[in-house]
Amino acid sequence: MSPLERAQKVAFWIAVFCAALGFVTSAGCGPIPELPGGLALWLHPVLLAMGIVAGFASAARNDEIDRKRWQVVEDPMLTSDERDYAHGYAERERRWASTAFLSAPLMLGYWMAYQLEGEGRRLEAQLLPLTAVVGSVIGYVVARLRAPGRET
């Protein structure tokens, strides 16, 4: 198992854990006391950075999956059905990796949006999940633009 594959599994479980905490906290049964609302302004850069790292990790994992795919597909002994299966499997793996890496900072932002105190939840707290998504998109796009052998 590659380090990126391990990171993908960790990201998935972080997403599951934070989603569960976010759901419980949104229902008013948070396991920890509410945090001060002003903390949201400090969490935005943290979630943006986490999203950027997740975007880079997603792009790197997708490259790893593609390398493995082409090693399999270039085998001259494969039938066309086996090649089609290898391509389909690789695409499923790419989607799973991207979802796992995007979900971790997104669900952390979701949980933090409900964890911060404030009457009616202040806008800066409500935008925490969006900040994580923007960071992920930035990280993924920058990683794709910097990829070696990229065709323009």
User: Which pTM value belongs to this model?
Assistant: 0.87
Rounded Cα–Cα distance for residues 128 and 23 (Å): 15
pLDDT at 150 over 70: no
pLDDT at 10 over 90: yes
- Cβ atoms of 110 and 18 within 8 Å: the answer is yes
Angstrom CA distances, 71 to 24, 68, 75, 79, 84, stand at: 45, 5, 7, 15, 14
Q: Token match 């964890």: residue?
A: 115
pLDDT digits (tens, 9 = 90+) for 17-53: 999 999 999 888 878 888 887 788 899 999 999 999 9
